[in-house]
């Protein structure tokens, strides 16, 4: 961290992005899921079929009777599901149905055994179900019982474990739906996919405080009702809203530079995949005040767009992706925030810079963020605007006091007017 303050008629100070951004504190988010027990009941060939009837392979989850209670969202995505083999999808559908209806001790499709599935596959498929279904906020974990004859696995009974009773879940589900509908009512009916993604990104950040101690902070209830959460809450809430808007969005788990576990999203905009991290878009979460005694946060722009629709290359500068669910290599840039907003610079183009600042002023914005295509461009613009004080050439108010922030990892600069 460093701060520059100059004895010029104009005042310019620096607030740097904290380089060592953090995650959700747990180095492996997946380890938080209770896997309560796994019992093996050994049976000989002579054991009575009355003790454990032959498992049926005829009724798949798609053919099963619709349960009396079902919390599954019709608009839910299928990215994780689609990454599985046909046999794995059989168990996925079973688990999806069981978890969506508060089911317990239901047999998984035995056709999976014929395809080589065994108990080692249960956890990975369970993770896929949760990755596709943010509405399963009440699911805490799972348990299963396996049945064997000799060394041969003959049946697995799967149960969800839940952190609340079904009546409470029903009430909370309605609360979440009402909150989501209120949020989505604010979007333009003619919005395209980029506008929908940006709207959700902005809305979650503006209405959510990052709080490790927030109740229900690993699920969407914390965001929609408590308005305080951690990374997994941010990511699942974004997924829930975008799925309702018809935009493909899935949960991504991994690590950040500090080795802490983290969660964010993969989104599909106009046919191309991008990464989006709303948690790291929350400026109050990821920036440090370098002027002791002054509340710079109150004057700072509240949203950072460095992680709205980025490529794999950009993401991997600060994140690493879990291999639990294969993710695509994202190379498209057309829906990147800076590209769409005309704020990506290949070099120091004064006309482009003037247009960016004048456009912001016309919209009543007090801040402008630019992104540079490479390090050379970044250093050129930083030197001109900061060292050369050219930033004041783009402001109409000659008495302005300007603060600025650097993100050297993502090659971005943010400038904002402050009255401090």
Kindly give the pairing relationship between strand 139-149 and strand 35-43.
Answer: parallel
- Split at pLDDT 50, 70, 90, the class of 16 is very low
Is residue 106 scored above 60 in pLDDT?
yes
* Report for 18-22, 141-145, 199-203: range of highest mean pLDDT: 199-203
pLDDT at 217: 77
Alpha carbons 263 and 267: distance in angstroms, whole number = 13
Q: Cβ contacts of residue 223 below 8 Å, gap of 6+? A: 204, 207, 208, 229, 233, 234, 236, 237
Burial 327-347 (b: 16+ CB within 10 A, else e): beebebbebbbbebbebbbee
Q: Which phi and psi (to 5°) does residue 285 adopt?
A: -80, -35
Under DSSP, the state recorded for 415 is E
pLDDT at 35: 53
Alpha carbons 114 and 122: distance in angstroms, whole number = 15
- DSSP character string of 341-386: TT-EESS--HHHHHHHHHHHHHTT-SEEEEEESSHHHHHHHHIIII
pLDDT digits (tens, 9 = 90+) for 239-286: 999 999 999 999 999 999 989 999 999 999 999 999 999 999 998 676
- Split at pLDDT 50, 70, 90, the class of 138 is very high
pLDDT at 420: 53
Q: Which phi and psi (to 5°) does residue 143 adopt?
A: -140, 160
What's CA 400's distance to the chain center, in Å? Answer: 37
Q: What percent of the chain lies above the pLDDT cut of 70?
A: 78
> Pick from 262, 183, 198, 276: which is nearest to 230 by CA?
262
pLDDT digits (tens, 9 = 90+) for 367-384: 899 999 999 999 999 999
Kindly give the pairing relationship between strand 401-407 and strand 35-43.
Answer: unpaired
pLDDT digits (tens, 9 = 90+) for 296-355: 555 678 899 999 999 999 999 999 999 999 999 999 999 999 999 999 999 999 999 999
Q: Give the residue, 400 or 344, on which the prediction is more confident.
A: 344
- Where are the chain's structural domains? 11-25+188-418, 33-163
Alpha carbons 402 and 158: distance in angstroms, whole number = 59
Which of helix, strand or coil describes residue 400? coil
Between 24-38, 54-68, 282-296, 370-384, the lowest mean confidence (pLDDT) is in 54-68
Find residue 414's DSSP bridge partners. 369, 405
- Split at pLDDT 50, 70, 90, the class of 143 is very high
What's CA 304's distance to the chain center, in Å? Answer: 15
pLDDT digits (tens, 9 = 90+) for 88-98: 999 999 999 99
> Pick from 419, 205, 369, 195: which is nearest to 302 by CA?
205
Alpha carbons 223 and 239: distance in angstroms, whole number = 12
pLDDT at 60: 38
Is residue 44 scored above 50 in pLDDT?
no
Alpha carbons 415 and 370: distance in angstroms, whole number = 9
Write the burial class of residue 409 (CB in 10 Å: 0-12 exposed, 13-18 middle, 19+ buried): middle
What's CA 264's distance to the chain center, in Å? Answer: 3
Q: Report the chain's C-alpha Rg in angstroms.
A: 25
- DSSP character string of 156-225: EEEEEEESS-HHHHHHHHHHHHHHHHHHHTTS-TT--HHHHHHHHHHHHHHH-EE-TT-TTTTSHHIIII
Is residue 157 scored above 50 in pLDDT?
yes
Average pLDDT over residues 132-148: 94
Which of helix, strand or coil describes residue 105? coil
Average pLDDT over residues 407-413: 93
């Amino acid at each position: 961290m460093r701060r520059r303050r100059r004895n010029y008629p104009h005042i310019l100070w620096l607030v740097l992005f904290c380089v060592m951004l953090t995650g959700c504190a747990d180095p492996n988010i997946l380890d938080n899921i209770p896997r309560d027990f796994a019992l093996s009941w050994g049976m000989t060939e002579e054991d009575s079929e009355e003790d454990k009837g032959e498992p049926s392979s005829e009724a798949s989850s798609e053919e099963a009777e619709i349960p009396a209670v079902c919390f599954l969202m019709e608009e839910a995505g299928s990215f994780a599901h689609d990454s599985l083999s046909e046999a794995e999808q059989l168990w996925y559908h079973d688990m999806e149905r069981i978890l969506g209806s508060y089911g317990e001790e239901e047999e998984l499709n035995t056709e999976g055994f014929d395809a080589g599935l065994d108990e080692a596959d249960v956890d990975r498929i369970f993770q896929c179900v949760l990755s596709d279904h943010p509405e399963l906020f009440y699911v805490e974990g799972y348990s299963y019982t396996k049945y064997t004859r000799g060394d041969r696995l003959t049946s697995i009974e799967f149960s969800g474990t839940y952190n609340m009773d079904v009546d409470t879940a029903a009430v909370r589900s309605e609360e979440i739906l009402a909150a989501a509908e209120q949020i989505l009512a604010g979007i333009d009916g003619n919005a395209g996919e980029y506008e929908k993604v940006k709207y959700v990104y902005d809305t979650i950040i503006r209405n959510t405080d990052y709080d490790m101690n927030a109740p229900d902070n690993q699920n969407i209830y914390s965001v929609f009702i408590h308005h305080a959460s951690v990374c997994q809450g941010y990511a699942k809430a974004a997924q829930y809203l975008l799925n309702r808007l018809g935009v493909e969005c899935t949960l991504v788990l991994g690590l950040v530079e500090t080795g802490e576990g983290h969660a964010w999203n993969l989104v599909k905009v106009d046919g191309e995949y991008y990464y989006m991290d709303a948690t790291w878009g929350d400026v109050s979460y990821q920036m440090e005040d370098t002027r002791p005694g002054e509340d710079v946060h109150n004057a700072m722009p509240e949203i950072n767009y460095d992680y709205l629709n980025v490529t794999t290359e950009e993401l991997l500068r600060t994140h690493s992706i879990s291999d639990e669910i294969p993710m695509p290599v994202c190379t498209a840039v057309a829906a990147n925030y800076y590209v769409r907003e005309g704020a990506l610079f290949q070099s120091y183009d004064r006309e482009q810079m003037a247009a960016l600042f004048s456009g912001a002023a016309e919209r009543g914005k007090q801040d402008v963020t630019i992104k540079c295509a490479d390090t050379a461009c970044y250093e050129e613009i930083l030197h001109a605007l900061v060292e050369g004080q050219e930033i004041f050439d783009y402001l109409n108010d000659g008495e302005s006091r300007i603060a600025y922030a650097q993100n050297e990892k993502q090659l971005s600069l943010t400038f904002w007017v402050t009255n401090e």
